[in-house]
Amino acid sequence: MKRFVEPRTRQEFIDAVRDADDAGLPLLVIGGGSNLLVADEPFDGVVVRDARREVHRLGEGADAADGANTQTAQEVLLRADAGVNWDDFVTSCVNGGFSGIEGLSGVPGTVGASVVQNIGAYGQEVAQCVHSVEAWDRQTSRMVTLTHDDMHFGYRTSALKSSMYEAAGVPAKRFFPTPRYVVVSVTFVLCRSVNGVVAMGQLAKALGVEVGCTMPLDAIREAVLQVRAGKGMLEDPLRYGTPAMRGVRRPQNVAEAMKQRAVQASRSVALNQGAGTRINERTEAAHVARARADGGNANRAEMDQPDMNRHSCGSFFMNPVLSTTTAAALPADAPRFDVTLPDGTAGVKTSAAWLIDHAGFHKGFAVRPGAAAGLSTLHTLALTNRGGAKASDIAELARTIADGVAAAFGVRLVPEPVVVGMDLMTPDRAQ
pLDDT of 275 > 50? The answer is no
Residue 32 confidence (pLDDT)? 86
End-to-end CA distance of the chain: 33
Alpha-carbon distance 53 to 429, whole Å?
45
Looking at every residue in the chain, the average pLDDT score rounds to 89
CA dihedral 117, 121, 123, 128 (to 10 degrees): -30
CA dihedral 112, 218, 194, 255 (to 10 degrees): -60
Q: Is 235 in contact with 224 (CB distance < 8 Å)? A: no
| Backbone torsion region of residue 239, taken as left when φ is above 0, otherwise alpha when ψ lies between -120 and 50, otherwise beta | alpha
Question: Using CA of residue 8, residue 11, residue 17, residue 22, what is the dihedral sign?
Answer: negative
- Report percent pLDDT > 90 for the chain: 81
Q: Which residues contact 8 (CB under 8 A, 6 or more apart)?
A: 51, 52
- Strand 373-375 relative to strand 214-216, pairing: unpaired
Alpha-carbon distance 123 to 103, whole Å?
7
Alpha-carbon distance 366 to 374, whole Å?
4
**pLDDT tens digits, residue range 9-33?**
999 999 999 999 999 999 999 988 9
pLDDT of 284 > 50? The answer is no
Q: In what order do the strands lie in the sheet with 337-340?
A: 321-323, 346-349, 337-340
pLDDT of 220 > 90? The answer is yes
HSE-up (13 A, CA, CB side) for residue 323: 4
For residues 381-393, give the mean pLDDT: 96
From 105, 132, 158, 315, active-site residue = 315
Q: Which residues contact 340 (CB under 8 A, 6 or more apart)?
A: 346, 347
Residue 269 confidence (pLDDT)? 52
Residue 61 confidence (pLDDT)? 42
pLDDT of 66 > 60? The answer is no
Residue 65 confidence (pLDDT)? 39
pLDDT of 51 > 80? The answer is yes
Is 315 annotated in the active site? yes
From 156, 249, 267, 399, active-site residue = 156
pTM of the model: 0.88
**pLDDT tens digits, residue range 110-151?**
999 999 999 999 999 999 999 999 999 999 999 999 999 999
Q: Is 402 in contact with 352 (CB distance < 8 Å)? A: no
pLDDT of 431 > 50? The answer is no
Alpha-carbon distance 188 to 318, whole Å?
25
Alpha-carbon distance 176 to 42, whole Å?
16
- Taking the CB of residue 210, how many other CB atoms lie within 10 A of it? 10
For residues 267-289, give the mean pLDDT: 49
Is 156 annotated in the active site? yes
> Using only C-alpha atoms, what is the Rg of the chain?
22
